[in-house]
Amino acid sequence: MMDLIIKNGRVIDPSNDRDEIADLYVVDARISAQPPAGECETIDARNLVVAPGLIDIHVHLREPGQSHKETFETGSQAAAAGGFSSIVCMPNTDPPADNPSTITWITDRARASASVNIFPSGAITKGLNGEEMAPIGSMVQAGIVAITDDGHCVQNHEVMRRAVEYARMFDLAVLDHCEDYNMVGHGVMHEGYWSTVLGLAGWPRTAEEIIVARNILLADLCETRIHCQHLSSGGSVRLLRDARARGIPVTGELSPHHIALTDEFLSSFDTNYKMNPPLRAPQDVVTLIEGVTDGTVTLLGSDHAPHAPFEKEVEFDRAPFGIAGLETELGLFLTILVHRTKAIDLNRLITLYTVNPATLLRLPKGTLGIGADADITIIDPDLEWTFRRDKSFSRSRNTPFDGWELKGRAVRTIVAGKTVWKT
């Protein structure tokens, strides 16, 4: 592996309050204060942004058991093409990642076939069934960085409380998919005007907000980090804002589709718009963006959920929830949050993708500090490009963003000093 010099770039490293035009040096796969002494690769980053490798904390990679949808190899390639040097994979695999043996298999498989860093999360409960806690301590020893039943939600509040208390023993974050099953029922889209017009069963905002409120109460009671995944409701943002103002250790995450799209898009009955939580009304989009602007929402994630074409090409009610998103999320957030609404600046966007996820999950990533791993994302924030799903690296094509014109994307992704993707 050759050493590296990245010249003339705008280096943005929020972990060190750094934003300047400078050269960046990589020696022995780590960030160096001095240029390499011998032969090295040189990259001209003039007019580009040089950032710590971006982190996506919410990715479904489908292995083991569902490799027809995605694999560590294809998912990591899609992540690299999206600008991500590190991703956190969810445990709703087949079998679920609810024991140390499966976690070890995931870690070994990722090490052998992935082109980016993959950090596994473990299930909160056995079989993701919400009834009995998984062996959290053993999974920590096997290498998990968080626990979550994502794809499912623990309905039993006592089980959730004990899991949160147990996680505190290991300084482990609890990530939660917020959905009250009784309120959702058979809902497949946002409950509102368009669900009535289309004759589809509604999924009310309150079904998310009730669990967000539960998590706030448990985070306060147990004094433990609880992270609310892929928020979709304006009411959830308001609950989170009040809780954070009171110092409760609860955080929230935004996925790009929840501000790029609304429930009206489902009038086409295209199952690529079917996701959980569902696309909501325009007023929710406004409040979600406000939550990012004022610091209520502190993390961004794709909720990359690949499905094979035959799974989506069925009646709307029968189609699985979720879209593939690793390759479009950065472009969507740059387009919507930085360029179109000017809700945040580029420095803040990078913070949401580096320092904040690394802090939440205690990852040794998200920094360009001297001695840090040389994980680097080079971004052209003004590059205008069109996403084509037939060019995607993902094994699945379930995206509503085919043909979308975006502004801003990663142009090179570097992991441990090695370029794993470039335009």
The catalytic site residues sit at 303
Residue among 355, 150, 183 nearest 255 (CA): 150
- Please tell me the distance from the alpha carbon of residue 289 to that of residue 307, in angstroms, as a whole number: 28
- Judge contact between 190 and 263, C-beta under 8 A: yes
CA 95 to centroid of chain Cα atoms = 22
What is d(CA 252, CA 170) in angstroms, rounded to the nearest whole number?
A: 21
* Cα–Cα nearest to 25, from 35, 16, 38: 35
**HEC secondary structure over 348-392:** HHHHHHCHHHHHHHCCCCCCCCCCCECCEEEEEEEEEEECCHHHC
CA 160 – CA 156 distance, rounded (Å): 6
Report the alpha-carbon angle 101-107-108, nearest 5: 90
For residues 178 and 154, is the Cβ–Cβ distance under 8 A? no
CA–CA distance from 321 to each of 124, 151, 189, 211, 392 (Å)?
21, 9, 10, 19, 20
